[in-house]
Structure 1
Amino acid sequence: MKVSFIWFDLGYTLVYQEREAAYRRFLAEEGIDLGIERIRLAYHLADKLFMREYPGVLGREVQTFYPWYIGWLNHSLGLSFDLDKQCRFLRESQGKPERTWKAFPEAARILRELRNRSFGVGLISNWDSSARAVLESAGLLNLLDPIVVSSEVGVSKPDPEIFRIALERAGVRAEECLYVGDNYYDDVVGSRRAGMASCLINRYGTQGIEEIEGANVIASVGELPGRILPASAGYPSYRAKGRIVQ
């Protein structure tokens, strides 16, 4: 594969929340002890189920789906609680989005490495109005250009239109691009419809995506340079408005 521009999703591709710790604290207050890894896997499987069965929901304002999501998570763990009480506890524990989303340890390093190798690096994300604040707090805002967010452009993945908007802003062709995200139905399907190559992040091997075939799967963005840079050696540098991006 030869690419000159790499696009990224945001949530659970570049940034994450320590949501499992808040959930475990709630359980402790209810007198229940569950291991953190079991809770992490349950969240992962909940994410994948919502991505598959309810496309686009996880990119909306959180209050529109949160009790529904937490209710399913509880059910998957064999638990049941007063959802109003539980969701209030979890939301208050996590605080404002820009404070609770953190960059994965490898994210900034990989973005800088790609830019230093003259790849264009941008963002296409289904996200609410907090997206830029989240990026700034995570230290990633100045490493991505352009930044295309569904709540700002009025269209969401997997609609090819959001990818076309991004391509136009970057001044690149779809066949020059690779899209990297953790949601097969939004990220892989959407980017393919727009003519881009794609790479799917799944941190638990095939768990939660057993129904998917033919996707290029990696565990994290940290694996990208080993797969992408050698194959793109000697490929022309990405140029935006007549200048080479460094």
Structure 2
Amino acid sequence: MALIATYAYITNSLLFCSAMRGPVRWVLWDVKDTLLKVRRSVGEQYCREAERAGLKLPHLQVEAAFRQAYRQHSRLYPNYGLAQGMNGQAWWAGVVKSTFSQCGVQDPVLLDTVARSLFQNFCGPENWEVFPDSNSALKSCTALGMKQGVVSNFDSRLEEVLRGCGLLTHFSFLLTSEGAGVAKPDITIFQQALQKCGLPAKNVAHVGDHYINDYLTSRSLGIRGYLLDRHGQQEHLNVPPQHRLQSLDELPARLQQETD
């Protein structure tokens, strides 16, 4: 029900914000599946870590168990369980332990070891792949005189991940849902981002791949939201062509059109 109410609020707000214009001075970015992606399937990466601990498990079984554990933890402990006194590391440890427990692994010491290792492994670039168009788009935005920040439903590892992937220097600030205490599509995280920008929403753009979390929520505040749809699979009728991107290479020219 909360998601439906949020969606209704966002949709109604778009009617009031769509006409606001002004020069773009800041570009805000989503990260996962926008600038970078997980290099291999979670099942494969979890199985690799399990093998180091002496376990051999089928990838598909682990993948299915992970999806179930992730959904359950997201429902019971949203935004890394901050409201229940958890943090990102404790939350992910719960997901990992639930995943392997479903696959028959019950040794608590082994589960703790694998959970710690996986959390640390996902800090580094070996488990992440930067999209080919990410660096060029970020550099182009800087060349156009625009400052850049991140608004992401990520945990505290984001800075280390971006540093390892060679992207950190592009950003003036990183705002994660763990750090902000709220997660997209809650508009509060974007309001916090606007405070960091120090400019009205009409002077800020946001790029992301999620229709509600990134596009609708940012647009509801008057931010220039762009929906990244690399595979042309998001058929949302209320997203006009000028708000859609099939590649980040399209963004600089689009931003220049907005600014001119």
Report if TM-score (shorter chain) is over 0.5: yes
Partners of 1:107 and 1:84 lie apart in 2 by 39
Q: Kindly indicate whether the alpha-carbon contact (under 8 Å) linking 1:22 and 1:94 is maintained by their aligned counterparts in 2.
A: no
Structural mapping, 1:193-212, within 5 Å: 193-206=220-233, 209-210=234-235, 212=236
Match for 1:171 among 180, 195, 198?
Answer: 198
| Corresponding pairs, count | 205
Partner of 1:124: 151
- Inter-CA distance 195–136: structure 2 relative to 1 (3 Å threshold): same
Quote the residue 1:63 is aligned against: 92
Q: Secondary structure of 2:41's match?
A: helix
Partner of 1:6: 27
Match of 1:143 in 2: 170
User: Aligned ranges for residues 183-222 of structure 1 at < 5 Å?
Assistant: 183-206=210-233, 209-210=234-235, 212-215=236-239, 216-222=243-249
Q: Give per-residue Cα distances to partners, 1:65-114, cap 9 Å, x unaligned.
A: 857xx8xxxxxxxxxx94869xx899978961122123222212211111
More helix by share: 2
Q: Distance in 2 between matches of 1:83 and 1:129?
A: 30
Q: 2: distance between equivalents of 1:5 and 1:186?
A: 19
Q: Give the letter aligned to residue 9 of structure 1.
A: D
Q: Find the aligned partners of 2:39 and 2:142 in 1 and give their Cα distance.
A: 28
User: Is 1:16 the equivalent of 2:43?
Assistant: no
Q: Secondary structure at the match of 1:227?
A: helix
Within the candidate set 137, 159, 162, 2:186 is matched to: 159
Cα contact 2:79–2:178 (8 A) shared by 1: no
Mark the runs of 5 or more structure 1 residues left unpaired by the alignment.
34-38, 40-45, 71-80, 235-246
What is the deviation of 1:228? 2.2
Of 214-223 and 123-132, deviating more is 214-223
Which secondary structure state, in structure 2, belongs to the residue aligned with residue 178 of structure 1?
A: strand
Between the aligned partners of 2:25 and 2:155, the Cα distance in structure 1 is 28
Specify the code of the residue in structure 2 equivalent to 1:96: N
Q: Which ranges of structure 2 fall in alignment gaps of 5 or more residues? A: 1-20, 48-55, 82-87
Q: What is the CA-CA distance between 1:133 and the residue it aligns to?
A: 0.8
Q: TM-score, normalised by structure 1?
A: 0.65
Q: Aligned match of 2:209 in 168, 182, 189?
A: 182
Give 1:145 deviation, angstroms.
1.2
The 3 A distance-change label for structure 1 pair 220 and 175 is: same
Opposite residue 123 of structure 2, the aligned amino acid is: E
1:131 Cα shift?
1.0
Corresponding residue for residue 160 of structure 2: 133
Q: 1:123 to 1:32 in 2, by over 3 A?
A: closer
CA distance in 2, matches of 1:194, 1:97: 33
Identity %: 25
Is 216-225 or 194-203 further displaced after alignment?
Answer: 216-225
Relative to the length of structure 2, the TM-score reads: 0.62
